Amino acid sequence: MKTDRVAFVIAMRSEAEPLIKSLGLTAAVGIFPETVPFETFTGEFSGRRILLTVGGIDEVHGIDNVASQPATLMTWLAIDRFKPDLVINAGTAGGMGRAGCEIGDVYLSGEVFRFHDRRIPLPRFREYGIGSYPSFDTSGLARQLGLKRGIISTGDSLDMTETDLVMIRVNGAVIKEMEAAAVAWVCRITRTPMFAVKAVTDLIDGRETPQKQFMANLRLAVDNLQDAIRRILSSL
Ligand code: ADE
């Protein structure tokens, strides 16, 4: 696969900040239309042209534009404007402790991305809702870099209902987050190779709430994320 142009799609500025610094990227204006709230950063790293986009700030609530809606639009714009050879969705996630996830682990995406909260109990719409969009094969990278790998399940909530948990299990997922399947859908329809890298901030089967764990472990996770991405870019 050609990887001269790599686009990163990241929801929160705090997830992206260490990576922006470590790759030496700088803020770039005029790449996306002025009407969208997303921020863009560009630069070169390991001989590759990099575009990194984050969701920016919601004008009403003053917090980061997270979850599947902004991710979909950001991915579309990144592909349309930057024409990447590869899209990488990076960020933080919850992990399944009983499947071996530990706080701070960095996971590469498994074979497919699925949704756990799009329930449409009608013939064929059920499968459509779940999704199953392909990931670029990360098994070689995982072996080479000693990273864990697993199926990622996406939903629009940080917390989780009983039904979500059942669906995450049915999806065969070990990682739960809020953007990857949306990014993967855009990449599927545009035939753009894509995989995800997610650092674990919380255990979804742990005793504490995800929000408490997320706040406590964000710094460790984003540091590990940036370190893993540098190594990934150097070995693509
Ligand atoms: N991002 C970090 N932790 C998460 C979780 N438990 N669910 C969804 N997104 C997350």
What is the per-residue pLDDT across 53-70, written as a single tens digit (0 to 9) for each?
999 999 999 999 999 999
| Spatial separation of the C-alpha atoms in residues 82 and 49, rounded to whole Å | 10
pLDDT of residue 158: 98
Q: Name the pLDDT band for 85 (thresholds 50, 70, 90).
A: very high
Tell me how many degrees the CA angle 162-135-42 measures, rounded to the nearest 5.
105
Calculate mean pLDDT across residues 189-209.
Answer: 97
Judge whether 17 counts as a catalytic residue: no
> What pLDDT is stored for residue 70 in this prediction?
98
SS3 106: strand
pLDDT of residue 86: 98
What does the pLDDT read at residue 209?
96
Model confidence pLDDT, tens digit, residues 136-170: 999 999 999 999 999 999 999 999 999 999 999 99
Question: Is 94 touching ligand 1 by the criterion CB < 6 Å?
Answer: yes
- pLDDT tens-digit readout, 200-229: 999 999 899 999 999 999 999 999 999 999
User: Can you tell me the distance from the alpha carbon of 42 to that of 225, in angstroms, rounded to the nearest whole number?
Assistant: 18
195-202 average pLDDT score: 98
Better pLDDT: 195 or 206: 195
User: In sequence order, what are the beta bridge partners of 176?
Assistant: 94, 153
Going by C-alpha positions, the residue among 69, 166, 75, 74 that lies closest to residue 117 is 166
Catalytically annotated residue among 64, 105, 179, 202:
202
Mutation test residue for ligand 1: of 152, 159, 178, the one with most atoms within 8 Å of CB:
178
pLDDT confidence of residue 94: 98
- Tally Cβ neighbours within 10 Å of residue 65: 23
What's the one-letter identity of residue 168? I
Closest C-alpha residue for ligand 1 atom 2: 93
- How many Å apart are CA 43 and CA 45, to the nearest integer? 7
For residue 204 and ligand 1, the question of a CB distance below 6 A is answered with yes
pLDDT of residue 131: 97
Beta-bridge partner residues of 151 = 173
Q: Is the CB of 50 inside a 6 Å radius of any atom of ligand 1?
A: no
In this prediction, residue 97 carries a pLDDT of: 97
Percent of the chain residues topping a pLDDT of 90: 99
Helix/strand/coil (H/E/C) assignment for every residue in 143-206: HHHCCEEEEEEECCCCCCCHHHHHHHHHCCEEEEECCHHHHHHHHHHCCCCEEEEEEEEEECCC
Structure confidence by residue, pLDDT tens digits, 12-28: 999 999 999 999 999 99
Report the distance separating Cα 23 and Cα 45, nearest Å: 6
What pLDDT score does 148 carry?
Answer: 98
32 pLDDT band, cuts 50/70/90, is very high
**pLDDT band at residue 236 using 50, 70 and 90 as cut-offs:** very high
CA 193-200-88 angle, to 5 degrees, is 15
- For residue 190, the model assigns a pLDDT of 98
Assess whether 127 carries a catalytic annotation. no
Which distant-in-sequence residues (6+ apart) come within 8 Å of 220 by Cβ? 103, 104
